[in-house]
Structure 1
Amino acid sequence: METIKNSIGLKLTVLWIGILFAMVILPTPFKSIAIGIFAILTIVLAIQRKAYFNLPFFLWNAALFCLLVFTFLYTENTEYGIRKLSTMASLIVFPALFSFIRKEDDHGIFKYHNQYLWVYVVSVFAFNVVAFLWFYITNYSFAGMIEHFATVVRVDMGKWRIHPIYLSMHCAVALLFSMYLLKATRSKRLIMLLLSIDMVLILFLLLYAKKGPLLALLVVFTLFVAFQRKQGLVKPYLVAMVVVVGLTVAIPKTRNKFVELLKIENLDKGSLTSTNIRYTIYACAKELIADAAFLGYGIGDYNDVLQKSYKEKDKPILVAGEYNAHNQFFSLMLMGGVLAVVFFGLMLAVNFVFAIRYDNQLLILLLIFYSLVMLTENILEREQGVIYFSLFLSYFGLRNRYLEAHADSTNS
């Protein structure tokens, strides 16, 4: 009877990991419910067996959150600090939950690895297409959708509302996953289906016109081709790059975003562009970091001091927009100083080293992708960013153990 219970518990856990990969299509409240159910399943499964907790895995993946809790001790705005820690809770929740998974269960979970990737790719595709078609049919002309869709998904989608930067990241990660699915797929029909989905996702990525995710995707795409060490991929790679660059230049909205990079200035002297806004923010943030380099200002106060700096330096646009640091590393410095960046860097480095050791290419590319996007976005401080970052880091990080065991069995 106990064996049957364990089998059912494992099957439900396997199923629910698939649900987590499909969270992009869930409205905001149901994301928390999905994570809560996963927590119940993993804990119940652990209770049914002998006590087990992968402490090293938990520590190196949750250390940053623990440090941020420590900064709460010297913060004044406790209400904001609690709210921010709640938003970032995925940084400790997913490492804890995946730490309950025993080594003997790895095969039962990771044999569905490609299915999880499919679930995510199809979910991201469906979310974009359904949202676009719904508002096209009910509210806008096609030209209107092309012009306003990025605003529509941010403002008019209720519980499904999402900032286009995070939807761009979803599109980019889905394209990354599809590269490995194409590599593993032998069915011509599935290959054609994946390529069709990829073309649509690329168009949406260009429609959102977010420089960070697009540039990060081009970097990891280049690295993916390099990892394969196959000359036959060079020509398709060059064709794809030419097509993407050509479309970027041909689409005015996307082209103008990249033209901004040719003239980067402070807002006092330059035009009002997203690039110049970030440049001005960084100037303010760097001065604040220098004044509290070791411990920062605490999880509750870091944003307050940044907003105060905008007012003192007479930056009305930044004051009105209540902009965050728009750089995750700067933001961590403001929260917890050098210690926070060191903890975060160690978390990335440990996962990166193990990913290289066990040839976990997807984890390597995900770490590079997110690190590049973090240069211009605070993705750990928004639910739509931190949930998926922590989920993927925990899932693909745990997969290192499975790849290690698989390599040992192959060599033996």
Structure 2
Amino acid sequence: MRKLLVRTGNGSLPDFFWNLLSLGFLLLPIGVNISTPFFVASAFLGIVQIILKKNRLKKKDLVFLCLPLLFLLTGVSLVYTENLKTGSDLIVRMLPLIIFPIIFLFIEEEKGIVRRLFIMLLFGILISMAINLFYAFSNSLSIVDGSLVFDSSFEGGYSFYESFNHGGNHFFGTRFAKTIHPTYLSLYILTSLLYFSYSRISFFYVIMIFLLFSLFLLSSRAALMILAVYIFLYIIHSGNGRWKNTMTALIVFSGILMVLLNPRVKTFYERIVDFGKKENFNYTTSEQSRILIYKSCLELIKHSPLVGYGIGDANNELFEEYRKNSYLVLVKNKYNAHSQYFQTWLQAGILTFFILIFPLGYLLFKAVGEPFVLAMLLTFVIIMAFESLLVRYNGIMFYAILMPFILRRERHLFK
């Protein structure tokens, strides 16, 4: 653990800042409450460091200001929000979007720091998965008539395989993820898998197997889609050499195996195909629900494209649209837009939407010939298409810290 501590050689203040940030990354996959104090403390020290050291502004990194601008424009929507409590709570949660990008405008990460952050994140993923497995076994094992019985189906009575499609399984998907939402844990796993595949860390094969197995258990369709993108990009940019050929073959084989063995992929396809046959939307699967959610979002955007409905009222307007169309499952579960693009547009209008996508477009333009940056960019692009990433703390914090590193696109990220 001592080797993971950051020593910049620039004094104790920078060292404390980076070490607190590292501890935050370690605890991020485990839970909100235990990681928050470390991120708050690191933000405070970062601001103090800027004031005391009088660090110069990195003009080449001014694109970072898109994140604070996104925060400010979303905050302006409070002016025409009736539900101020909901809006204010979300604005407070979004504070990292203004704090960390400004800190990284003045404080540039040194060689090896990002590596340490990802190693700490990897340890956090390991702990998180261990906790999830513990609860999965605890919920699956019981003593009946003096005998130990294993039943992993959530509703009981289904075989291990059948419970994928009927009633849920304690070892897969949302039922399995007890620490944080599976989408965010999958995001941490995907970015770690990507980082270590390019940085050539020791024991990478073991790490890759663990991360792929974790993705399989979490069973996120968006994550599997991103994994397919990784495979495609890795094939294109693999080049020659024994290491590259071995890595390419291993990643392609593992990725295809994950997709073929995961029954939720087949279920996803069948449910999407069956959607067109539906006449009654009182019952919908998660895949079909998203289609109805996006349809509702588009309808609302048509009526208020310029300024949206306000950060506090956007979800309420969406719920009302569900009620109007008798999407009872969506009303019952109070689903938000499940897409950051739709969520931002509904909250604060078209200008804020363009501010959201600007850094993504900037990276797409700059990432030509940089496979790591392109893959990391596509990770966020796809995740934000299927999840309101900047609504939950786990997504906001990760995006606010990692995006400036990606936008900077320094080669020492891999060293």
TM-score (normalised: structure 1): 0.82
Alpha-carbon separation, structure 2, partners of 1:5 and 1:112: 13
- SS of 2:390's equivalent in the other structure is helix
Q: 1:385 aligns with which of 389, 395, 399?
A: 395
Distance 1:267 1:126, change over 3 A: farther
Cα offset, 1:371, TM superposition = 0.5
Distance 1:355 1:250, change over 3 A: closer
Cα offset, 1:87, TM superposition = 2.2
- Whether the aligned pair in 2 keeps the contact of 1:225 and 1:234 (CA below 8 Å) is no
1:10-35 deviation per Cα after TM superposition (whole angstroms, max 9, x unaligned): 22233233223323245322222111
- Whether the aligned pair in 1 keeps the contact of 2:104 and 2:404 (CA below 8 Å) is yes
Alpha-carbon separation, structure 2, partners of 1:83 and 1:318: 23
Corresponding position: 1:249 with 2:249: no
Alpha-carbon separation, structure 2, partners of 1:327 and 1:22: 27
Alpha-carbon separation, structure 2, partners of 1:12 and 1:280: 47
**Which stretches in structure 2 are left out of the alignment for 5+ residues?**
1-7, 142-149, 154-159, 161-168
Distance 1:387 1:14, change over 3 A: closer
Name the amino acid aligned to 1:284: S
Q: 1:79 aligns with which of 77, 80, 85?
A: 85
1:372-401 deviation per Cα after TM superposition (whole angstroms, max 9, x unaligned): 122111111111222112211023334549
**Which stretches in structure 1 are left out of the alignment for 5+ residues?**
407-412
- Whether the aligned pair in 2 keeps the contact of 1:220 and 1:368 (CA below 8 Å) is no
Alpha-carbon separation, structure 1, partners of 2:174 and 2:112: 39
Alignment of 1:322-337 (within 5 A): 322-337=334-349
What residue is the counterpart of 2:331 in the other structure? Answer: 319
Corresponding position: 1:175 with 2:193: yes
1:103-151 deviation per Cα after TM superposition (whole angstroms, max 9, x unaligned): 5xx4xx233333332222232133213431x225544246528721334
Corresponding position: 1:38 with 2:42: yes
- Aligned residues: CA RMSD: 2.9
Cα offset, 1:152, TM superposition = 4.4
What residue is the counterpart of 2:3 in the other structure? Answer: none
- Whether the aligned pair in 1 keeps the contact of 2:231 and 2:252 (CA below 8 Å) is no
Cα offset, 1:257, TM superposition = 3.0
Q: How many residues align?
A: 380
Cα offset, 1:85, TM superposition = 1.3
1:155-193 deviation per Cα after TM superposition (whole angstroms, max 9, x unaligned): xx4xxx3112222222222211221232xx4xxxx23xx
Corresponding position: 1:163 with 2:187: no
Give the fraction of aligned pairs with identical amino acids, expressed as a percent. Answer: 23
- SS of 2:37's equivalent in the other structure is helix
1:346-390 deviation per Cα after TM superposition (whole angstroms, max 9, x unaligned): 12223444555xx66433322211111221111111112221122
Alignment of 1:194-213 (within 5 A): 194-213=204-223
- Whether the aligned pair in 2 keeps the contact of 1:172 and 1:214 (CA below 8 Å) is no
- SS of 1:374's equivalent in the other structure is helix
Alpha-carbon separation, structure 2, partners of 1:260 and 1:248: 17
What residue is the counterpart of 1:113 in the other structure? Answer: 114
Alignment of 1:261-410 (within 5 A): 261-265=272-276, 268-269=279-280, 272-356=284-368, 361-398=371-408, 400=410
Cα offset, 1:58, TM superposition = 4.2
Distance 1:307 1:267, change over 3 A: farther
TM-score (normalised: structure 2): 0.81
